């Protein structure tokens, strides 16, 4: 039986539904550009909810306190760096629009400030970020003020140990203690943060947990919990738990994949259609052709073939984890269009000898080249197509891992790429 091909016609097709693809769809919707977004959003579940802009400059030991000033230096030192191509004012605006869209859908964020915020990790180390979910905001404040605080962890929840947090933070946070409790009605055996989060959307569970939290708080007025405060309405669950306990509560991300990442993914999947964006989720584009008339994307879901006809395409397919780049024994490739990939000379140069080398690995700086309009450069040094734009981690000349700039690169370059795509669409219409 041959299934009929379903066809979508749109102005802009976004390929990739990670942070860059989602942000691009948000920006496109804001600009009233008809948008279809495709691709697997699995990697979103690995995000912590923190939106980093620039936490370190590659190779430097010290964390960055003022990311805006550091960006100005980056612009001079690494002119090819994707963040170096976006003006500070554009980055601020991009974060503003993106976090506003998230807040509108149920995850309020702290605003992008002048300085980085020092936030907690599940191992009890600290990192720098720009914006964080409101449910996590009281943690960094308590840390900065050295407020007496109890980290509560749960029987059966692996990889989140209050004792570990206290062992590693205790020296700089003397008022920090920990207590372990059993999550209401989940006794004996392994428990999962996602299950706890969904269960806390039920008022009765919240009341039971609140009673336990009050008991273990002792004299502390502030409690830290693993990120379990609801899946779809974390702001409300968080407010309710604070009201029921009379305490200040904050979340700490658990080891990904965790609740904050799943929240973002599910929220964007629900929010984008409301903004008029067509979502063809979890299916990979198998073929993309671009010509003078337009672009054609081909993909397949369980109901049969799908074709998307678009006037412009934004490539936000990510790196190795998401399949935007493919590393093979003989080199690194861009699988969808076979775009040239800037990369180290050979496999022996991909990684340094030491894994945790602060300077990072050269494989991360591999990627595709774009021009000032974020159009990928094809074979022969010219743009691959006037209708093709790219954003996010697939771009060359950055190491988002070492520089703690994953969300920053995604959001900032998506903003500029959509801006350029809009110029193209308006000009050619």
Residue 361: half-sphere exposure toward Cβ, Cα within 13 Å:
14
Cα distances (angstroms) measured from residue 74 to each of 82, 129, 171, 329, 393: 10, 17, 33, 32, 17
Nearest to 389 by CA among 7, 28, 9: 28
Give the largest CA-CA distance in the chain: 70
Q: Compute the least distance from the CB of residue 380 to another protein, in Å.
A: 27
Measured N-to-C along each axis, helices 259-274 and 88-104 cross at an angle, to the nearest 10 degrees, of 90
Planar angle of CA 79, 368, 290, nearest 5 degrees: 130
Residue 234: half-sphere exposure toward Cβ, Cα within 13 Å:
32
Of the residues 69, 78, 80, 156, which one makes contact with another protein according to CB under 8 A? 156
- Give how many residues touch another protein by CB under 8 A: 58
Q: Compute the least distance from the CB of residue 238 to another protein, in Å.
A: 22
| Interaction between residue 17 and another protein (CB under 8 A) | no
Residue 282: half-sphere exposure toward Cβ, Cα within 13 Å:
6
| Interaction between residue 291 and another protein (CB under 8 A) | no
Nearest to 411 by CA among 104, 117, 92: 92
Q: Which stretch binds another protein (CB under 8 A): 77-85, 102-110, 139-147, 349-357?
A: 349-357
> b/e for 41-51, b at 16 or more Cβ within 10 A?
bbbbbbbbbbb
- Contacts of another protein in 232-271 (CB under 8 A): 253, 255-256
Query: What is d(CA 337, CA 3) in angstroms, rounded to the nearest whole number?
Result: 26
Q: Which stretch binds another protein (CB under 8 A): 58-66, 271-279, 281-289, 307-315?
A: 58-66
Q: Which stretch binds another protein (CB under 8 A): 99-107, 184-192, 269-277, 295-303?
A: 184-192
Q: Compute the least distance from the CB of residue 5 to another protein, in Å.
A: 30
Instruction: Please identify, using beta-carbon distances, which residue of 216 and 326 lies nearer to another protein.
Output: 326
Instruction: Please identify, using beta-carbon distances, which residue of 311 and 361 lies nearer to another protein.
Output: 361
| Interaction between residue 103 and another protein (CB under 8 A) | no
Q: Compute the least distance from the CB of residue 204 to another protein, in Å.
A: 24
Q: Compute the least distance from the CB of residue 187 to another protein, in Å.
A: 9
The answer to whether 334 touches 325, Cβ cutoff 8 Å, is yes
Instruction: Please identify, using beta-carbon distances, which residue of 8 and 46 lies nearer to another protein.
Output: 46
Residues at the contact surface with another protein, assessed by CB under 8 A: 46, 48, 56, 61-63, 121-127, 155-156, 158-161, 163-164, 167-168, 171, 188-190, 253, 255-256, 319-321, 323, 326-329, 346-348, 350-351, 353-358, 360-361, 363-364, 400-402, 404, 406
């Amino acid at each position: 039986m041959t299934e009929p091909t379903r066809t979508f016609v749109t102005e802009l097709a976004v390929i990739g539904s990670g942070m860059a693809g989602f942000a691009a769809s948000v920006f496109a919707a804001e600009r009233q550009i008809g948008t279809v977004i495709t691709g697997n959003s699995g990697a979103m579940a690995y995000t912590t909810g923190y939106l980093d802009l620039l936490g370190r400059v590659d190779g430097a030991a010290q964390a960055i306190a003022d990311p805006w000033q550091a960006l100005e230096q980056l612009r001079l030192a690494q002119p090819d760096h994707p963040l170096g191509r976006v003006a500070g004012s554009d980055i601020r605006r991009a974060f503003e629009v993106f976090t506003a869209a998230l807040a509108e859908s149920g995850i309020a964020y702290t605003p992008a400030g002048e300085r980085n915020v020092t936030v907690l990790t599940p191992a009890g180390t600290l990192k720098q970020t720009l914006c964080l979910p409101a449910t996590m905001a009281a943690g960094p404040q308590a840390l900065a003020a050295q407020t007496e605080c109890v980290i509560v962890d749960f029987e059966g929840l692996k990889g989140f140990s209050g004792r570990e947090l206290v062992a590693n933070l205790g020296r700089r946070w003397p008022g920090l203690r920990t207590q372990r409790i059993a999550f209401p009605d989940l006794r004996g055996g392994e428990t999962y943060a996602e299950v706890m989060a969904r269960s806390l959307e039920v008022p009765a569970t919240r009341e039971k947990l609140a009673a336990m939290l009050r008991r273990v708080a002792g004299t502390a007025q502030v409690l830290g919990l693993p990120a379990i405060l609801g899946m779809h309405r974390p702001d409300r669950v968080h407010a309710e738990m604070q009201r029921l306990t009379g305490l200040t509560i904050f979340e700490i991300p658990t080891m990904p994949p965790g609740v904050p990442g799943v929240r973002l993914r599910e929220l964007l999947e629900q929010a984008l259609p409301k903004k008029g964006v067509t979502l063809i989720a979890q299916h990979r584009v198998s073929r993309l052709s671009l010509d003078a008339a337009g672009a054609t994307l081909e993909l397949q879901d369980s109901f049969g073939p799908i074709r998307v006809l678009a006037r412009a395409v934004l490539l936000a397919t990510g790196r190795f984890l998401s399949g935007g780049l493919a590393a093979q024994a003989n080199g690194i490739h861009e699988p969808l269009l076979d775009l040239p990939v800037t990369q180290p000379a050979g496999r022996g140069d991909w990684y340094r000898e030491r894994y945790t080398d602060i300077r990072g690995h050269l494989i991360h700086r591999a990627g595709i080249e774009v021009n000032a309009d974020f159009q990928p450069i094809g074979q022969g040094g010219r743009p691959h197509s006037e209708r093709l734009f790219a954003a996010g981690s697939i771009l060359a000349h950055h190491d988002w891992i070492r520089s703690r700039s994953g969300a920053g690169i995604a959001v900032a370059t998506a903003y500029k790429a959509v801006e350029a795509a809009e110029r193209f669409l308006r000009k050619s219409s």
